[in-house]
């Protein structure tokens, strides 16, 4: 993803300007802070359970329990980030970054979908299924780049965070397709 991020950032600089590229970079940094927290929770809670018992029914139970118990708290955290976005910008950056405020909505929506999907994708790691994991990641990288190139000219800098949302919707669909047996087959 770093190469794609560089390509997209360069395109933002060309089409919108350096300030907008900085806003997007700032948005990514804010996102990385809470995504790291969410991924750590998933790693501590979901991965050990999935690694211990590899049955599909256990997978569904573990995922369902995570979605019912932990995901609502993560959602509340994302809502708190959205509500306090102005303070976050001034605390972490400065007034020059106030232009990134409209990016929060789309970034947070995309990050929520990313968290929901990451929980599912940990099944690949638990089962050491690198092939399916790589397929999903390659589709994700390509879809982000394609959506960015389509949406940037249409919506300016907000198009990039809209591309983030579209990318994680596609990623979610790909993960569900790759995990259809584990998710929907009641025999295992």
DSSP assignment of 61-109 equals HHHHHHHHHTHHHHHHHHHHHHHTHHHHHHHHS-GGGGGGTTHHHHHHH
Q: What is the pLDDT of residue 63?
A: 95
Confidence of residue 54 (pLDDT cuts 50, 70, 90): confident
Which range is least confidently modeled, 113-117, 119-123, 124-128?
A: 124-128
How many residues are recorded in the chain? 188
Confidence of residue 2 (pLDDT cuts 50, 70, 90): confident
pLDDT in tens, 73-118: 999 999 999 999 999 999 999 999 999 999 999 999 999 999 999 9
| Dihedral pair phi/psi, residue 17, rounded to 5° | 130, 170
Mean local confidence (pLDDT), 120-144? 94
Contacts of 149 (CB under 8 A, 6+ apart): 11
Confidence of residue 157 (pLDDT cuts 50, 70, 90): very high
Confidence of residue 22 (pLDDT cuts 50, 70, 90): very high
CA neighbours within 13 Å on the CB side: how many for 184? 7
């Amino acid at each position: 993803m770093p190469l794609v991020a560089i390509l997209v950032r360069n395109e933002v600089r060309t089409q919108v300007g350096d300030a907008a590229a900085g806003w997007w970079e700032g948005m990514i940094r804010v996102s990385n802070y809470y995504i790291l927290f969410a991924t750590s929770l998933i790693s501590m809670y979901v991965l050990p359970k999935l690694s211990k018992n590899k049955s599909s029914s256990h997978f569904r139970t573990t995922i369902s329990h995570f979605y019912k118990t932990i995901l609502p708290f993560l959602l509340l955290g994302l809502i708190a980030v959205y509500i306090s976005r102005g303070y976050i910008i001034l605390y972490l950056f400065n007034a020059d970054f106030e232009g990134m405020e409209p990016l929060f909505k789309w970034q947070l929506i995309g990050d929520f979908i990313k968290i929901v999907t990451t929980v599912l994708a940990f099944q690949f790691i638990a089962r050491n299924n690198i092939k399916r994991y790589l397929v999903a990641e390659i589709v994700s990288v390509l879809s982000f780049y394609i959506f960015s190139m389509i949406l940037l000219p249409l919506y300016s800098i907000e198009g990039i965070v809209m591309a983030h949302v579209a990318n994680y919707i596609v990623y979610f669909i790909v993960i569900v397709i790759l995990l259809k047996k584990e998710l929907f087959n009641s025999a295992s």
